A and B are shown apart, each in its own frame.
Chain A
Amino acid sequence: MEIDPLPNGTGSTAATTTTETTVTATLPTAVSNTTPSSKLSQLTESLKLEHQFLRVPFEHYKKTIRANHRTAEKEVSSVISSVADVADSNEISKDDAVLSLTSLVSRLQGLKRKLEEGSRTENLQVQNCRARLDHLESVDAENLSEWNNVRFKRILVDYMLRMSYYDTARKLAESSKIEELVDLEVFQEAKKAVDALKNQEVGPALAWCAENKSRLKKSKSKFEFQLRLQEFIELVRAENYMRAILYARRYLAPWGATHLKELQLVMTTLAFRSNTECTKYKVLFEPKQWDFLVDQFKQEFYKLHGMTLEPLLNIYLQAGLSALKTPYCFEDDCTKEDPLSQENFRKLAMPLPYSKQHHSKLVCYITKELMDTENPPQVLPNGYVYSTKALKEMAEKNNGKITCPRTGLVCNYSDLVKAYIS
């Protein structure tokens, strides 16, 4: 009987190594030579923020590879040992031997199909990694505003997925055709566990813990313990005391070595009823413990998949609000082009620090343009300042006379004094 050489993952290896060398080359070549250097460095800096964008599909791919490898290993070694059993057995009849071997052949055929499919999936996933690298590389001066638009949509989809607004995420991704650039598929894994936890069931979440046992152990995660504690509490709530104790013996005791205090606290709920007034234990029975579990799950999930712990939207919002926040934003005549003229934005910006600048930047009250060396500021006799451009235009239309738009003071263009501000 001939055994065909197994389809191995070397196809993927080649793809991965070339992908890796492109990573280091991506940033310098991302922008064409025609872009001014300050814009170039600003763009390079903003590209460096995209770690999550590349890491998530990679972690997903790695997981698939490892799982496929484990399946292959298990099946193959099982078949080999079965063959050995049949060969070594002295009592086996010819017919039984043939039967046994035939079943092994069909097992191997099943494995081959599975491996082929697994290889296809792996290829798709590594193509996705590649596509994202290409996307980062594709930005240049011409398509910059569109590329930024796509980035903005990616940030919104990330927010939707984390908040479990899956339909909106999908609609948004489809409408801008960015399905490849966002993690809809990865979050499907989270959906099951999150929905179940919201329904006060720990099953899928526990299954997820089992799937990722080794990695959770490496990061010393106690999430599984927390799930078990909650199940225990539910048994106590239902007054199933005997089952609760058995449950604790089986599932909670192993965690006693590392988390004794917590274990003891929860075990003590046996002594109290679920409607206890004692605050220390009352809080354990509250439904918001389940919300806490949902948040915990999400944090563990994000960590495992290479995502930031906070939504990208929040991170950029905080930075943006702070960078824009000046005391003048809160005045009544703040221009409506400033986001911080809006009530909602002001509320969000309240606890955030003000922006800081090291160089003066002056904006003409009339034209809203910058007053710099090409359009210097000029000072009226009453101390009010406007841009040369605006004042010249006003003087030309009014026989050399200037009227201050804020105070009504009238003077001559010749009465103005130039201010030199660096």
Chain B
Amino acid sequence: MQSSTLEYQSELAELKKKLQEVSPLNQLEGAQKELNIALIKYPKALEKVFNPDISKAYRNIEFDSPIVNQIIASHFYRQGLFEVGNCFITEAQDAEAAVAMRSLFQELYQMLEAMKSRNLEPALKWAAANSNKLKENGSDLQLRIHHLQFVKILQKGSRDEALKYARTNFASFAGNHMAEIQKLMGCLLYSDRLHESPYAHLLSPTNWDTVTNELTRQFCNLLGQSYESPLSATIAAGIQGLPPLLKFMTVMVGKKHEWQSMNQLPVPVELDKEFQFHSVFVCPVTKEQSTDDNPPMLMSCGHVLCKQSINKMSKNGSKTFKCPYCPTDIDSTQCRQLIF
């Protein structure tokens, strides 16, 4: 009995010693140390390459949550994301006003959905109902939809039906679009082998895409809406405009309170030309933007300065001066105000 007691006690002692040798805690520690080096280096690298605080140029004003939510909900609806929009309105609870947008745009997306399955009926109906306004805007959308329908009928191989369709629908467009109609008539010759004919390009699905775009564009136009979602346009402008502002803020350290109350951005922000909606004239001499009180003036040489610059250089009209661009003599009374 005693010897077995000694046995297992020595086994236990052996076990304890083995554990101390293997030292699992040290192994864990070692592995963690290695990992820790990387865990410290990575965020440091991130902070060096990327801008760690992009809210430096943020003004501490409260954005009115209902307004922002309405803008977002309207955006979802005009982009056709009806399910997301509805879910959002339920969760946000202060964007009910955007529901009007939903009813407006549902019609558009029903038409687009139908067109995806090559059904042109809703689009034809809408185009017919709005035919006059479309013509006023100079859009040939209605003809283009007829065009697609015509090719579709022809593809099915029924030449007579296509001809009948053409007779019913193309006549009213003959005045302005004769060339196009003639082309379509030419297709009749190849009704069963369009894909081999010189008109094969008419079968391309890109035609459908073009008409889809034009339909969307005209739909928005007639509703008095912009083509681009105003929210995505503003955000895109923000993404372009934010880097120069942040750069300025790194220089402007300690003057944050000045930034909070400025009336105009302190640095110029050059956006892509799709964001240029208004003419902005900047006087080349003073680098200031023209205003109603200080309009741009055309000099006799064809160059343009703002009124205040001309007054200054001509000493309030008392003498002639040389244009800073070309050495022409300028008489300030001959300068004309420009309206862009």
Interface residues of A (CB under 8 A from B): 1, 3, 5-6, 8-10, 12-13, 16-17, 19-20, 23-24, 26-27, 42, 45-52, 54-55, 58, 62, 65, 69, 72-73, 76-77, 80, 83-84, 86-88, 94, 97, 148, 151-152, 155-156, 159-160, 163-168, 171-172, 175, 306, 308-310, 313-324, 326-329, 334-339, 341-342, 344-345, 347-348, 351-363, 365, 370, 377, 379, 383-385, 406, 417-422
Contact B239 A24 (CB under 8 A): no
Contact B49 A48 (CB under 8 A): yes
Residue of B nearest to A76 (CB): B24
Known A-B contacts A87-B15, A315-B58, A324-B234; the reply to A54 vs B242 at CB < 8 A is: no
Known A-B contacts A23-B45, A168-B87, A314-B58; the reply to A338 vs B35 at CB < 8 A is: no
A261 CA / B277 CA spacing, docked (Å): 55
A278 CA / B340 CA spacing, docked (Å): 62
Known A-B contacts A20-B42, A159-B72; the reply to A348 vs B64 at CB < 8 A is: yes
Return the contact of B38 from the options A13, A324, A417 (Cβ within 8 A).
A13
Query: Which range holds the interface residue count of chain B?
Result: 35 or more
4 additional A-B pairs beyond A76-B28, A165-B92, A356-B265, beta carbons within 8 Å, are A319-B237, A320-B239, A336-B225, A384-B338
Is B122's beta carbon under 8 Å from chain A? no
30 sample A-B contacts, Cβ–Cβ < 8 Å, listed by A number = A3-B22, A5-B27, A10-B31, A24-B48, A47-B50, A54-B50, A58-B43, A58-B46, A69-B28, A87-B15, A151-B239, A159-B72, A171-B87, A175-B83, A322-B269, A337-B226, A337-B228, A338-B277, A348-B64, A348-B67, A348-B71, A352-B59, A353-B263, A354-B265, A357-B280, A360-B280, A360-B281, A363-B277, A385-B340, A420-B301
Q: Which residues of B contact A308 (CB under 8 A)?
A: 53-55
Of B123-131, B146-154, B160-168, B284-292, the one with at least 4 CB within 8 A of chain A: B284-292
Contact B51 A310 (CB under 8 A): no
Is B255's beta carbon under 8 Å from chain A? no
Return the contact of A24 from the options B49, B52, B90, B282 (Cβ within 8 A).
B49
A19 CA / B42 CA spacing, docked (Å): 8
Q: Which residues of B contact A88 (CB under 8 A)?
A: 16
Contact A73 B25 (CB under 8 A): yes
A8 CA / B36 CA spacing, docked (Å): 13
A383 CA / B296 CA spacing, docked (Å): 10
A307 CA / B154 CA spacing, docked (Å): 58
A62 CA / B284 CA spacing, docked (Å): 54
Contact B49 A23 (CB under 8 A): yes
A203 CA / B338 CA spacing, docked (Å): 68
Of B4-12, B133-141, B200-208, B307-315, the one with at least 4 CB within 8 A of chain A: B4-12
Min Cβ gap B13→A in Å is 5
Q: Which residues of A contact B19 (CB under 8 A)?
A: 3, 80, 83-84
Is B279's beta carbon under 8 Å from chain A? yes
Min Cβ gap A255→B in Å is 28
Contact B32 A9 (CB under 8 A): yes
Q: Which residues of A contact B18 (CB under 8 A)?
A: 3
Q: Which residues of A contact B50 (CB under 8 A)?
A: 47-51, 54
Residue of A nearest to B246 (CB): A49
Is B267's beta carbon under 8 Å from chain A? yes
Is B68's beta carbon under 8 Å from chain A? yes
Contact B55 A165 (CB under 8 A): no
Return the contact of B24 from the options A3, A12, A97 (Cβ within 8 A).
A3
- Contact string against A for B residues 302-338, beta-carbon threshold 8 Å, 1 for contact and 0 otherwise: 1110000000000000000000010000000000111
A1 CA / B15 CA spacing, docked (Å): 7
Contact B242 A316 (CB under 8 A): yes
- Contact string against A for B residues 223-242, beta-carbon threshold 8 Å, 1 for contact and 0 otherwise: 01111101111111111111
Q: Which residues of B contact A362 (CB under 8 A)?
A: 279-281, 340
Q: Which residues of B contact A370 (CB under 8 A)?
A: 273, 276
Is B88's beta carbon under 8 Å from chain A? yes
Return the contact of A65 from the options B25, B39, B72, B263 (Cβ within 8 A).
B39
Q: Which of B248-277 contact A (CB under 8 A)?
A: 262-271, 273, 275-277
